[in-house]
Structure 1
């Protein structure tokens, strides 16, 4: 017969068989994001003196956006992981207490009498063999519990110290956006295909009642003095273009909204103040308010093709300018969330921070086509 202490040890080890540890490292991801934000701060200082300030500051804004996105994701994963560990440890309180009791007993009294068995030498030998088998398992499980407790402490400390990092990152991103807006306003080296005729544009707007009608008329619009500037053939890049903003697809082409209205373009969810850039080199054919779409930017990568980007709070550039791929063309609206709100969302394990919507339509000739034939999106999302 096995002694009760050994049976207890076997029962504890079995009951505490730990599930596989997470392959990801939420704490490491959050720290890496914080380092990314610090690097963006350094880059902002250097970009102010750059010869190509627009390009440099565009990179800085993107770096801040990526760093803040990564930090939010890291904090969210950290909160989820901490909750999982806390729940796991709480559910095993009784077993852990038994484990600690057995280990404490083994550690306090190592006298030979502890190894004597009522059945004599054979029983003692058997008990010794069982103890030799069980002790490493107990020590392994104790080490696992200790790691879990240490991880909980690290994750909680990380979340508590994230407020200052978030605040600095949000402030840095705003400063970078302001510097970028100023640099775009000050630039003088952008090539132009033509100069806008504001009267002609106003008449065009007045004569159309839909975005489709406006875009179709724009295709036919003949502008005096339009010069030819060779742009790369964009047709060979169908399906490979990046979206002009980091976003999640809310509605695809032809999907009805809550009111039952369908549109031929994509509706994207973005974060407040997100930077929107030109997906290809293109001519700005229109920029400004249009109907009920807010500020609209219409880009022409080559004759007969239009990219319509609607719902911007700010638009950059002037009609007739030819902008390189990746050039900022606008900013989304909204306000950056407060640090407390970000931390609250993270602690709740949610990421509902994409509060702004952007509409993208692609037109070949006078007909709209599914933007997903041009842009890379998560078609399963």
Structure 2
């Protein structure tokens, strides 16, 4: 009977709506990206264009990350709803059939029963009990269909937002490079002569060996004073927006242990100095890509490897938060990564190697950096 099938349908569980709200996340991300675009407009007239453009790029990075996470959640939620429809297809067909049957039958006939007046009374009681549950089931189905339409509209409309944001962040990177080239007000210190540096580079067979040789060179007695770096222990921010994927001396897939952190970042992410520091070396080194070595104070070196672009000149004394370079991949980052639209897809991430040296030995950067923030 239709009524028995309907009761069976209502007895089965329905998929609960996810607690995540990808549409809310995407709206907040879109607002972040609008604020970043406004920051880009203001950066041209800022007194410190380098600082303003660095903040703008970071704002774009945060908005893009939030938007992509919203899309990833939207895609996952859409798959969950569609899979639940597939699993419950028979139950939904029975429910819809029962609704159509009840809708097309006169109300009086729904109450008639072959067994007579007692059966009719009982069927009326059953229908009165079933009706609230039926309405709840219909509302649940309607809500899931509306959510599915919202999620699809969100994903269809996000592409243009992301494309505009990618153009904006690329323009900010271009302006940043020009602003750094135009910068003339930085204090400087005397650094190693080019011939001496060339000998160090040619004799280096590892990044650690090069950093050790660099640390052993005599300091410039007339160098500008910098804040005490030891006071920053445990309170430094990561130099790039990202997540630590490999810790100090943690083995990689080949079993190699390196005395630094491997930080996963978005393509083209801006890297900044976490503390006022002097540039001791910048440029290509061995197979590490572009390398930046900073001296935050005497006896310490910060080593960054794997950059695509590096900013500044050896001897520049940088304030905290100054951009020192960009990660690779800015020109090939898709607007919507595969991870947002395909199960198991992976976004094209880059990795920054970060090493901290005290004296002539590396130390665990986790003791110095706050790693609870991406």
TM, length-normalised to structure 2: 0.91
Q: Does 1:136 align with 2:132?
A: yes
1:361 alignment partner in structure 2: 355
Offset of residue 143 of structure 1: 0.9
Gap change, CA 1:240 and 1:120, over 3 Å in 2: farther
Per the alignment, residue 30 of structure 1 pairs with: 26
After superposition, the Cα gap between the structure-2 partners of 1:162 and 1:265, relative to the gap in structure 1 and judged at 3 Å, is: same
C-alpha displacement at 1:170, in angstroms? 1.3
Measure how far apart 1:122 and its partner are.
4.7
1:251 aligned partner: 246
Could you tell me how far apart the structure 1 residues matched to 2:271 and 2:125 are?
69
Match of 1:80 in 2: 76
Secondary structure (helix, strand or coil) at the match of 2:369 reads coil
**Unaligned runs of at least 5 residues, structure 2:** none
Query: CA deviation digits over 1:146-203, x for unaligned, max 9?
Result: 1111111222222223322222111111111001111111122222343553233223
Counterpart contact for 1:163–1:343, Cα < 8 Å: no
1:265 and 2:246 matched: no
What does the per-residue CA deviation read over 1:49-88, in whole Å, with 9 as the maximum and x for residues that have no partner?
1111111111111111111111221111111111111111
Q: Which runs of 5+ in 1 are unaligned?
A: none
Distance change >3 Å, CA 351–CA 58, structure 1 → 2: farther
Q: CA deviation at 1:229?
A: 1.3
- Distance in 1 separating the partners of 2:155 and 2:132: 35
2:57–2:172 contact (8 Å) kept in structure 1: yes
Cα 1:278–1:343 change in 2 (3 A) is: closer
SS at match of 2:296: strand
What corresponds to 1:10 in structure 2? 7
Q: Paired residue for 1:179, among 175, 181, 184?
A: 175
Say if 1:264 and 1:339 are closer, same or farther in 2 by CA, change over 3 A: closer
Alignment-derived partner of residue 238 in structure 1: 233
- Alignment equivalent of 1:194, drawn from 179, 190, 195: 190
Confirm whether residue 371 of structure 1 aligns to residue 371 of structure 2: no
- Please give the alpha-carbon distance, in whole angstroms, between the structure 1 residues aligned to 2:297 and 2:219: 15
CA 1:247–1:144: 2 relative to 1, 3 Å? same
CA 1:252–1:351: 2 relative to 1, 3 Å? farther
Cα distance in 2 between the residues matched to 1:291 and 1:117 = 88
Secondary structure of 2:239's partner?
A: coil
Deviation at 1:322, TM superposition (A): 2.2
In structure 2, relative to structure 1, the CA distance for the partners of 1:59 and 1:46 (3 Å cut) is same
Q: Report if the CA contact (8 A) 2:305-2:354 is conserved.
A: yes
Q: Does 1:93 align with 2:89?
A: yes
Identify which range, 195-204 or 55-64, moves more after superposition.
Answer: 195-204
C-alpha RMSD over aligned residues: 2.5
| Aligned residue among 279, 282, 287 for 1:284 | 279
Q: Which residue of 1 aligns with 2:158?
A: 162
Aligned equivalents of 2:345, 2:46: Cα separation in 1: 35
Distance 1:243-1:351 versus aligned 2 partners, 3 A rule: farther
**Deviation string, structure 1 residues 199-251 (Cα, Å, up to 9, x no partner):** 332233344433223222322322445334141x3334333322211223343
Which residue number corresponds to residue 141 of structure 2?
A: 145
Tell me: CA distance 1:138–1:192, structure 2 relative to 1, closer, same or farther (3 Å).
same
| Distance in 1 separating the partners of 2:226 and 2:245 | 35
The corresponding residue for 1:319 is: 314
How many residue pairs were aligned? 374
2: distance between equivalents of 1:56 and 1:271? Answer: 20
Q: Any conservation in 2 of the 1:62–1:275 contact (CA below 8 Å)?
A: yes
CA pair 253-228 structure 1, distance change in 2 beyond 3 A: same
1:104 aligns with 2:104: no
Q: Secondary structure at the match of 1:175?
A: helix
CA displacement 1:20-46 (0-9 Å, x = unmatched):
210011122223222322222222111
Segment of structure 1 superposing worse, 125-134 or 112-121: 112-121
